[in-house]
């Protein structure tokens, strides 16, 4: 059965095909053989030439999802996705605890800057108030899982970047700064193609899909303390929304 590809969408054909094959792999469509169909079969399925299919498979190989074996075909490298729960108390380390042997939080950049209108509204700050922005990467067993941009009120958390760099944990950093507990006020989930710096931070190839959470956390008195936009590699993580 031929699968329709949008030829005038502005997205390269091989990227569209890579996205669909990635989804099929994650859905277990090829579990019976643990192999991708032949290039000829895939070309017929998507209505493209074999060179386009080859480019899509090369992209998935760069991500580590498949591996070409001469004389055999393209093997699927099985990688079970981590389950990341989203709940009233969402924590990176606790959420992935037990699923990975080693978890690490790495600081990429920290700056002090005026809050944009969106950040000011989320953190209940005056327009232009000073805030701390942290760029971080969450790593599980040596593999980057998420990249996050987080904002904190500077008047309460001026040193949070230094503490995070030492502890590798937002939760531990907040605890050292007097926030023993905090709760999730809201989470918005969306999906985008990875681009720019996220390709490098998450070690993805062009066309990879990101699951994106935009969230606000507050202390137990209801005061917003963190506004964040976290990007997760969709082929490495799946969300579980707890109620």
Q: How far apart are the first and last CA of the chain?
A: 39
Residue 79's pLDDT is: 61
The percent of residues above 90 in pLDDT, for the chain, comes to: 58
Beta-strand ranges (E) seen in 180-223 are: 182-193, 209-219
Residue 3's pLDDT is: 61
Neighbours of 65 (CB within 10 A): 23
Residue 203's pLDDT is: 87
State the pairing for strand pair 237-241/224-233: unpaired
Between 182 and 25, whose confidence is greater? 182
Helical ranges in 38-183 per DSSP H: 39-46, 50-63, 92-96, 117-122, 154-157, 160-167, 170-176
Mean pLDDT for the chain? 90
pTM tops 0.95, yes or no? no
Residue 9's pLDDT is: 61
Q: Can you tell me the distance from the alpha carbon of 177 to that of 162, in angstroms, rounded to the nearest whole number?
A: 11
Residue 83's pLDDT is: 86
pLDDT digits (tens, 9 = 90+) for 58-113: 988 887 788 999 888 999 886 667 888 898 888 888 888 778 888 899 999 999 99
Mean pLDDT of 170-177: 96
Q: Quick check: 204 pLDDT over 60?
A: yes
Residue 88's pLDDT is: 87
Q: Quick check: 186 pLDDT over 80?
A: yes
């Amino acid at each position: 059965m031929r699968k329709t590809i949008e030829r005038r969408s502005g997205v390269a054909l091989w990227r569209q095909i890579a996205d669909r094959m990635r989804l099929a792999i994650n859905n277990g469509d090829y579990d019976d053989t643990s192999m991708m169909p032949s290039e000829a079969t895939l070309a017929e399925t998507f209505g493209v030439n074999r060179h386009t299919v080859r480019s899509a498979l090369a992209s998935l190989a760069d991500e580590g999802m498949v591996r070409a074996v001469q004389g055999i075909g393209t093997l699927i490298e099985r990688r079970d996705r981590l389950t990341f729960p989203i709940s009233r108390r969402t924590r990176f380390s606790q959420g992935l605890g037990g699923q990975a042997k080693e978890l690490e939080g790495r600081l990429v950049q920290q700056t002090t800057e005026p809050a944009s209108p969106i950040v000011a509204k989320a953190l209940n700050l005056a327009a232009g108030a000073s805030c701390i922005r942290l760029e971080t990467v969450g790593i599980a067993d040596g593999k980057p899982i998420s990249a996050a941009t987080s904002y904190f009120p500077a008047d309460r958390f001026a040193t949070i970047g230094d503490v995070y760099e030492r502890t590798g944990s937002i939760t531990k950093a907040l605890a050292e700064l007097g926030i023993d507990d905090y709760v999730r006020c809201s989470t918005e989930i969306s999906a985008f193609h990875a681009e720019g710096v996220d390709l490098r931070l998450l070690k993805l190839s062009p066309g990879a899909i990101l699951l994106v959470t935009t969230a606000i956390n507050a202390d137990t008195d209801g005061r917003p303390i963190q506004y964040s936009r976290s990007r997760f590699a969709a082929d490495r993580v799946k969300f579980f929304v707890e109620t």
